[in-house]
Chains A and B, each alone.
Chain A
Amino acid sequence: MNFDQARFSRDDVYEPLLSEKDSTTVEVDSEGVLPDDLTRDELTLPGLSEPQLARHYTRLSQMNYSVELGPYPLGSCTMKYNPSFTEDVAADPNAAVHPDRSDRTIQGTLGLLHGLQEHLADIGGMDAVTLQPPAGAAGEFTGILVAKAYHESRNDDRSEIIIPSSAHGTNFASAAMAGYDVVELPSDDDGRVDMEALDAAISEETAALMLTNPNTLGLFERDIIEIAEMVHGAGGLLYYDGANLNALLGRARPGDMGFDIMHYNVHKTFATPHGGGGPGAGPVGVVEDLTEFLPSPMVRETASGYEQYEPESSIGKVHGFTGNWLVLVKAYAYIARLGDSGLADSSAKAVLNANYLASQVDLEVPYGPFHHEFAATAGDRDAADVAKRMLDYGVHPPTTKWPELVSQAMLTEPTEVEDKASLDDLAHAFNAAYADADEVLESAPSKTSARRIDQVSAARDPRLSWQALEQDE
């Protein structure tokens, strides 16, 4: 496959900024509206016509890679195809209601939320689910707040959260935001939880252990039952990071493994579009003993219809209203489209694809048996350079240099949506880039809209607006 990304350029820039196409200053005349001292004097913004804007944004869209253009195998990010129909569903004008409406007048909205709460609880083996957290990290924070409320309700003062060193960075940050000290847990030689280290880390200070399963190497934590017993035995709770749930759909449920709290990443597992960095949604499921602490409001079904309620000992709010509604609609539509057999087939094909791709790449994969993702090592090559070169072969590269357990890691997750031919293209990109000469790697990419971008000067001399660029001139 040959690839050349669209590239619009002019002099020393690519597509000019809106502000370079037009800058219009209007004087704010507030006479008869507001006193002069309450208003600004003028406002300067681009003042372009609709055709000019349509061209601007269409050109920019063409200088942007997406999963509808090609494979996007970012490990632990689960970039799968986003079914088109879910956009139409979310755009239903009847679904566009304000959150201050009375329950009686929004039975459709509440019905969907209730249905999603139920489906997610079933999928995770949980007893109740809040849909309020607006992203996975917000879900982690919410889950940890629930754990904290639970311990506090028992007058049990605990100060620590245990997190494997290979976990997502958000785990550490979320635990710290909730006021906990983080105890970092090393991996054993097989890439899984080091049981001796875990035993040493657990104490009466342990509020929770946060685990991803399969972990960030794609490995199932085989000792999960024993881990759960150890954590519970010390009075702690077990938290499931749902980033890798796509590997387990219909085959194993966190609730059955002994997890007490989990978050779901709906863009990963349930195919809501990532939108270049959100909006996401990070629903949180809990077991029976923890349901009273969930954020408010929750939705329940009564004889007279759906209603919102505040759980008895609710932690309160984690979003100004009830989360990222449009995303939740798309997640529900996806789950309802697939049903049991579709969900189980997703994990089957995701795991098949990862294993097939790994069998076709020349790079070593040090840990296994892996599931939906694998961490290959670029060995003595620089993984970031290999990744840049892969762009020239028309694919998005994997996550690089993470997890740190694997040197020069290329964490790869093709998801279930790639067919064999596409995986073969991906493998070719891996192998060709891996075999290219050092100087080729270092000067890559060349077929993308922009060439290699200088990260160091971007950070050393931050220019974060067109105003800053104008000042520089």
Chain B
Amino acid sequence: MSTIRQQLASPLQLLALATAGIILLPLGYVTAQALSADPAVWSRLWATRIPELLFNTVSLAASVAIITLVLGVSTAWLVTRVEFPGRRLWEGALVLPLAMPTYVLAYVYSYLLGFGGPVEHLWQLVAGPQARIFSPHSYGGATLVMALDTFPFVYLLSRSALLSMNVSFEEVARASGVSRLSTLWRVTLPLMRPSIAAGVALVILYVVSDFGAVSLLRYQTLTYAVFQQMTGRSDNTAASILSLLLVGLALIFLITERWFRQRSRFYQTTGHYRAPQRHRYGWLGTLAVTGYLGLIVGAAFALPASLLIQWSLSPEAQATIDSRFFGFVWNSGILAASAATAGVLIGLPLAYLASRRPTMLNLGCLQAAYAGYVLPGPVAALAVLVLFTKLAPIFYGSVLILIVAYVIHFLPAGLQSLEPALQHITPNLEEVARTLGLGMRDTWRRVTLPLVRNGFVVAWVLIFLQTMKELPATLLLRPVGFDTLAIRVWMEASEEYFQLAAPSALLIVLLSLPALALLISKDWRAA
């Protein structure tokens, strides 16, 4: 009894509860809408659309998860455990695809691989004029684009884990005569498991809630169907039903990931570590590694980026660059920065409470915060719109409403890195600081905060990047005259005006680069 009262009395607790409440409101709205629907609508959807959509969504998520797992972990291992010329360069370059929105990659690939596109022309030179290549507007195309775009999530978190991992575990294994490969398999990978699981979960949630790429590639997933329902129909019943399924699906993924992480909770014994010894490769190995990394970075970033530059330099595209264009740039930047700041400030107490006081209530609040990511952008947007007009009409039509939707939608991306960051610090450190006479406040300032700074920065940058690229919620909620770069890309690319879309797409990439630079910069890694 008294513990409950104590918990409730903490303002941090109240803050966490309030946040969870606000984030759960849209979910509640959608659930209520879906459950109050006429059973006839349910059975019609079951008979026609749902099996196909579920199958498409799950199989896309599964294939992308497997590919990103392989790409992400292997690249992270190469840049942290192997020494080869240009290693530092590749270390940064592997993050670059995060600056490339999926829908931009999708439109570049639908041009490259599309009917009568350059790749097909090349292929026809080899295989005869009637030869066709596989269509990018397919399961394969969607998998390729989504995997190339999202593997850096796994890479980043795996790399973080490999860098902050106490190398003595591996050294002990090696000293006891365990082979290099076996050490990797039995020591390193298991230690990385929480980070890998977090990365893959991020990828899966990203894939199931993606709208831009699947719609440009005409691959029917639940989220795409929801957007079609919302923009093509005046009542949102069917959209709500499909959303509820989507939420259910994402919850299953999340619970699986939690379960993985619960089973493998590791603490570092010290915040200080020695850089791991990097194995040096010969020229053959170097060539192979460089080729492998070059292929990935080339396909996911260099090739699309150079096409964007080429398109942007065309006279048609140049004509679109005027004062309006710079307005879009400003809008995008300010929105993304505000959402990222708000997201981190809101996420920190949630993650802190859940990892330091894992009561049912705190864990519940944290799980609630993950709800936003599984609500497809358009539905989160609609729910926010309705709630705002009912509860706080004064903010209606302002950017605040957009920021709330972003925070709800992308907080999980931030939490995914805040949480492991907090988990990695053993509570002993804080306890020692306390027994040595440091007050709670000083402990937080001098021990906890410096230790979580990495996670903090990563969280901010991830939210910033995702907001910059966000499409469906922005489409539905943007105030009048507040178009962003993402909107401009979408307007042009969805009508295949690739050249006209290019300057905005390129600008999104350029604006994202400083944020990414922050991600890979040295000074926070040393902390």
B is a partner of A: no
